Structure 1
Amino acid sequence: MDIANSIVIRKYRIQDLSPVVRVFTDSVHELTAAAYDETQRYAWASRMPNLDTWQERLASMETLVAEDGTTLAGFISYEPSGTIDLVFTAPNFARQGIASALYHEAEQQLKKKGVKELHTESSVIARPFFEKHGFEVLDEQRVTIRGAQFLRFTMRKKLQE
């Protein structure tokens, strides 16, 4: 069954803060172990995140959440200019179409605003997702986050009229 058909996508509300941060943290720690070691995962997603920092970050972007009943299944955050910053799915909802449904909704909203091109800085794990949705790699970067090295990809997608 494609669970993406049973979810509701809506705008983020402040009461979603803790569930969104939990989805991010759980997703990094449970879904990226094949590509990142424990040191990298803890550098990327602290098990004790600062909710004030997250609140500021999310307030600076548009965020959509996907719900399955009362459970937060995933979220996407993006800038009105077309930069996709965050796309994460709760581990128990992974690979069920949630991220794609969120991405398609965000793309439609950005098209309505007249955005012609989307950008993202993708992790190794997310690169195939973005490529599946028409993004191309522009550059490869090595970045350091809290002392841990990461490979990421600058990607873009030109939107059709």
Structure 2
Amino acid sequence: MNSPVIRAAAAQDVDDIYAVHRDSVIQLCAGHYTHEQIDGWLDGRDPSMYLAAVENCSIWVADDGGIRGFVETAGEEVTKLFVRGRSAGGGIGATLLEHAVSTIADNGHARAYLEATTNARSFYERHGFEVVGSGHFSHGRSQVRLEIVKMARRLTQDAG
């Protein structure tokens, strides 16, 4: 497999981004969340939900001839980071995360913030994020809640 290129997502990518999102949740989160929680997480999602981020130039993909992962930001927050299950552990997530963090820093923010799944906590800790809280996430029509970890990473050093 070639090293992927990180590029801005285009409208024609939304079907593949959606497929990566579903695959990542199903493959990588199954050991940490129930089937009911995963179904609720994916409830109501479809490819069109990524179009606004494409239009805002706030979503990037890892592309090596096929989309292996994607990351989305909004202000100081990494709002989504998902990698295909078979691509996990190959450095794609780390590359996407660093791209997002660099973008957040370039936009003048002093920290990056995210809400991580319990299975992704150690990944983010290895990349300099610290736990700043906890909470729950739900999506779509489902009332099922998923435990999450709120995390932050300082991007600038204070002078002194």
* CA–CA separation in structure 1 for the residues paired with 2:95 and 2:49: 27
* CA–CA separation in structure 2 for the residues paired with 1:56 and 1:73: 20
Residue 71 of structure 1 is aligned with which of 66, 71, 80?
66
* CA–CA separation in structure 1 for the residues paired with 2:149 and 2:55: 25
Equivalence for 1:50: 46
Residue 124 of structure 1 is aligned with which of 112, 118, 121?
118
Normalising by structure 1, report the TM-score: 0.87
Decide whether the 8 Å contact of 2:70 with 2:81 is kept in 1. Answer: yes
CA RMSD, aligned part only?
1.9
Decide whether the 8 Å contact of 1:119 with 1:156 is kept in 2. Answer: yes
Equivalence for 2:4: 7
Equivalence for 2:32: 35
SS at match of 1:49: coil
Asked if residue 16 in structure 1 is aligned to residue 10 in structure 2, the reply is no
* CA–CA separation in structure 1 for the residues paired with 2:87 and 2:119: 16
**Identity within the alignment, %:** 26
Residue 134 of structure 2 is aligned with which of 112, 137, 140?
140
Q: Provide structure 2 residue ranges, at least 5 long, that are not aligned to the other structure.
A: none
Aligned residues: 155
Comparing 113-122 with 18-27, greater Cα deviation is found at 113-122
Normalising by structure 2, report the TM-score: 0.87
SS at match of 1:126: helix
Residue 155 of structure 1 is aligned with which of 151, 155, 159?
151
Q: Provide structure 1 residue ranges, at least 5 long, that are not aligned to the other structure.
A: none
* CA–CA separation in structure 1 for the residues paired with 2:98 and 2:42: 26
* CA–CA separation in structure 1 for the residues paired with 2:145 and 2:123: 22
1:19-44 Cα offsets, whole Å, 9 max, x none, are: 00100001101111110111111111
